[in-house]
């Protein structure tokens, strides 16, 4: 049975709650232990989830490793290791268009798609933050708008490279001594504002043709970009109304570009603290919030808001005079989300820190498996989601609880598959394998 | 028992002979089949080899896929997949200093070292060829000398990044809520002629501290570079005298820089066609040479020599008026090696094609296991090699034959280990784990 929901496991070292590593059960060295990640991948596959996903930024955040695990294995390599530990689940890696070369990155995703038998996905990010820029020869952050223009051209080049070998290009004609047909090779021949790439790629066309394209930006540029390129969209939404508005908006933008809105799957994030009883779930949430060190969290919040830590007081609301949104060149949508959440619910800085520490702006939720399933179904039934980005606050426990207790409820309700029916990530998401595009206007 | 030889398996799709894919036993789709590579890795590990190695160039060579398998999975990903299929053998990937960013590449090697439990090695190349340049926004090839200057700075930045976390930086102090000690984090703070990289790396110090550094350039710049940075050197030498001269030269250059020459292991390549009898070995070599399509090989040779294919005649020697070596900006040492080999042995173009088709300038050798072992020992006993880069002409058969029939002879003679004694690649090569360097002149 198929079901109509799509579920992605968003994995992060000891879990999404910033204090998860401090729980007695947590291994604080898990971030660099491939066995930890292999276990998580196998649990997610036991739950028949569509995919698992790794976020990424090429930086030690804020230059500090004090607050939480700060070692991050490179995602395309880590997913390659997880491909060997699993057989079905999709593997989505974040990678930056600002700090990679299209030839190298397109090749890594084509390689991951071959190695995993068609399970590769790319979460396309433009990478905010001066910290990152300073690791790549820059002294200033490229402007928000420029990063998206570069990202669009980066994706266009990548599409040309993935399509540079026809599916039938490898003849393997031993008798004639002809391995490949040069007539079925199509150089990228790309010359644009940011890139000149001759091509062809040196990897044959992969099982999926190209990786699943994922995007998570929520700024205006981000939504336009997603509407044009994304096949799955991860998004942070706090309320049903906001999620419905985002869903309508993005599907509308895709339709306006001539795309079938069904081919853009929208997955809001949810951080479910799961307990056998509601009281148990709330106790977990409270224990985690108690383990946050507020001075670290306040410093991080100040950095997000582009203010000095001294301007924030733990038991007061945010100051009234914050920087104007338009002046933010970094993670613009993250900024807006934090400020909106704080103002709407009139949260003190301490309360805001608890909410953000749990899910960095994603929807946190404490409840029984039945309540979590209800929350998921409620949004899915009301035009707010095609599926969910599951962000367990504690790993591996939170993923095990979700897979063993929430997934069976969704399956009984006919909302989620009881087994994999396809072999590729695209098949899990109900998306077709693209034919190679040919010609200049070919990308879409 | 340890033995004093080091053996590396240089793997290449269906084997090093360009026509290997045409043999009845060969799977012409092996290049993109991870199961093929996993089998090879397990065979090499069964033979207790120090390491396996993947060459690389970010290009479809000559823009043609006709002649031989031309799909190449990205090496750091493929080795990550092989890490999961093996437990002991070292994993050496080629990567270019001209077409990567230091932060990204240093991070991938640190990640591979974590994932493999300390088995990562980096073969540092500067990447010759206009084809490659044209995949990375360039319209001309950077000059030979500039590529090496950039490579040296790239390695310096990488060393700073690998050393940016002390071994003790991760405190994992759950009670105090302090994951890492910021005082044990050392930004790279690099500002040079080619790179500005702030650091620190976002990966903790890996089991080996840093990957084993390997180099294979044979030009003057290449040898200087190897003497400064390399811990293992792959080289193509046709005669004992040439190999001895190279060995003395490189060890001398390393000593002149204040390094212990014992910490630079020199491994000439050998392409052994192995048969139960000498006749069987020669028959294999002849069968392979017969399967070369001379018009393809002539076109490739012409490209190497920077002449037109019409200037080459299959049954004549090379033309007298070839371009001057100093005018070659690409693979300078490859050019010199080909011309020297052809002139010394007065080979016709057809004969030269056979020799190059078998090993691209490396020493080809047909014989029984005993003869191959003798050839290896002869060079090792006479100051020409610390070990060998084994390049089977046909895979997997040539590696299986080497492991099952040649390795036991070397073991009986006390020349090669009968089991792994260490767990890391550095331990296999008898090299120490480096302490983090501190300060400006710290790299060496």
Structure confidence by residue, pLDDT tens digits, B3-60: 799 999 999 999 999 999 999 999 999 999 999 999 999 999 999 999 999 999 999 9
**What are B211-221's pLDDT values in tens digits?**
999 999 788 99
CA distance A170 to A184: 9
pLDDT of A29 over the 50 cut: yes
CA distance B254 to chain A (A): 31
Task: Flag if A77 and B111 touch (Cβ within 8 Å).
Answer: yes
- Mean pLDDT throughout A200-218? 96
> Domains in chain B, start-ordered, CATH in brackets?
6-273+366-428 (3.20.20.30)
CB A121 within 8 A of CB A92: yes
- Mean pLDDT throughout A387-403? 98
Lowest mean pLDDT among A209-223, B25-39, B190-204, B334-348: B334-348
Mean of the per-residue pLDDT values for chain A?
Answer: 93
Which of A114, A179, A199 is facing B66, going by the closest CB pair? A179
pLDDT of B110 over the 80 cut: yes
At B298, list the tokens.
């002539």
Which of B74, B180, B195 is facing A111, going by the closest CB pair? B74
Task: Flag if B32 and A131 touch (Cβ within 8 Å).
Answer: no
Task: Flag if B180 and A70 touch (Cβ within 8 Å).
Answer: yes
Task: Flag if B65 and A180 touch (Cβ within 8 Å).
Answer: yes
How many angstroms separate the Cα of B312 from the Cα of each of A412, B225, B300, B321, B349? 73, 34, 11, 12, 7
Q: How many CB atoms lie within 10 A of CB A326?
A: 8
- Mean pLDDT throughout B277-295? 93
CA distance A224 to B157: 37
Task: Flag if A58 and B107 touch (Cβ within 8 Å).
Answer: yes
| Three-state DSSP state, A349 | helix
CB A186 within 8 A of CB A164: yes
CB A96 within 8 A of CB A126: yes
Q: B18: buried, middle or exposed (CB in 10 Å: 19+, 13-18, 0-12)?
A: buried
Q: B336: buried, middle or exposed (CB in 10 Å: 19+, 13-18, 0-12)?
A: middle
Residue B442 confidence (pLDDT)? 43
What is the residue-wise DSSP string for B77-101?
HHHHHHHTT-SS-EEEEEEESSSS-
**Residue B296 pLDDT grade (very low, low, confident, very high; cuts 50, 70, 90):** confident
Give the max Cα distance, chain A: 79
How many angstroms separate the Cα of A153 from the Cα of each of A149, A160, A350, B192, B253? 6, 11, 42, 29, 46
**What are A76-86's pLDDT values in tens digits?**
999 999 999 99
Lowest mean pLDDT among A195-204, A288-297, A387-396, B418-427: A288-297
Query: In the beta sheet, which residues pair with residue B190?
Result: B197
**What are B41-56's pLDDT values in tens digits?**
999 999 999 999 999 9
User: What is the number of H-type helices and E-type strands within chain B?
Assistant: 15, 13
Q: Which residue of B has its CA nearest to A195?
A: B137
CA distance A47 to chain B (A): 23
For residue B221, which of B93, B407, B97 has the smallest C-alpha distance?
Answer: B97
């Amino acid at each position: 049975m198929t079901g109509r929901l799509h579920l992605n496991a968003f994995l992060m070292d000891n879990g999404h709650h910033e204090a998860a590593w401090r729980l007695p059960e947590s291994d604080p060295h898990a971030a660099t232990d491939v066995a930890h990640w292999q276990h998580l991948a196998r649990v997610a596959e036991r739950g028949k989830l569509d995919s698992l996903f790794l976020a990424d930024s090429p930086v030690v955040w804020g230059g500090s490793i004090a607050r939480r695990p700060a070692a991050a294995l490179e995602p395309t390599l880590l997913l390659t290791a997880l491909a060997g530990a699993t057989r079905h689940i999709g593997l989505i890696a974040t990678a930056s268009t600002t700090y990679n070369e299209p030839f190298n990155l397109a090749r890594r995703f084509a390689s991951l798609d071959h190695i995993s038998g068609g399970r590769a996905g790319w979460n396309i990010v433009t990478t905010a933050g001066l910290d990152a820029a300073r690791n790549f020869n820059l002294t200033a952050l490229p402007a928000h708008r420029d990063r998206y223009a570069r990202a669009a051209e980066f994706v266009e080049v990548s599409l040309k490279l993935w399509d540079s070998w026809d599916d039938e290009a490898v003849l393997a004609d031993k008798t004639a001594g002809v391995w490949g047909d040069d007539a079925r090779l199509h150089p990228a021949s790309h010359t644009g504002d940011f890139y000149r790439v001759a091509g062809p790629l040196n990897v044959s066309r992969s099982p999926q043709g190209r990786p699943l394209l994922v995007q998570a930006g929520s700024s205006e540029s981000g939504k336009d970009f997603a509407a044009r390129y994304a096949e799955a969209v991860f998004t942070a939404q706090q309320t049903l109304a906001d999620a419905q508005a985002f869903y309508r908006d993005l599907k509308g933008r895709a339709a306006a570009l001539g795309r079938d809105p069904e081919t853009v799957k929208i997955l809001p994030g949810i951080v479910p603290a799961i307990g056998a009883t509601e009281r148990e779930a709330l106790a977990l949430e409270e224990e985690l919030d108690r383990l946050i060190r507020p001075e670290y969290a306040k410093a991080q919040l100040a950095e997000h808001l582009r203010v000095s830590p001294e301007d924030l007081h733990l038991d007061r609301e945010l100051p009234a005079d914050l920087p104007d949104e338009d002046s933010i060149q970094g993670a613009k949508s993250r900024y807006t989300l934090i400020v909106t959440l704080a103002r709407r619910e009139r949260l003190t800085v301490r309360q805001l820190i608890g909410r953000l520490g749990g899910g960095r702006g994603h929807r946190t939720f404490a409840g029984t498996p039945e309540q979590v399933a209800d929350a998921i179904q409620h949004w899915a039934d009301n035009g707010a989601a095609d599926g969910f980005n599951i962000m367990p606050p504690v790993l591996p426990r939170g993923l095990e609880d979700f897979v063993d207790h929430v997934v069976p409820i969704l399956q009984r309700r006919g909302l989620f598959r009881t087994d994999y029916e396809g072999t590729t990530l695209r098949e899990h998401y109900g998306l077709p394998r693209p034919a190679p595009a040919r010609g200049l206007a070919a990308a879409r």
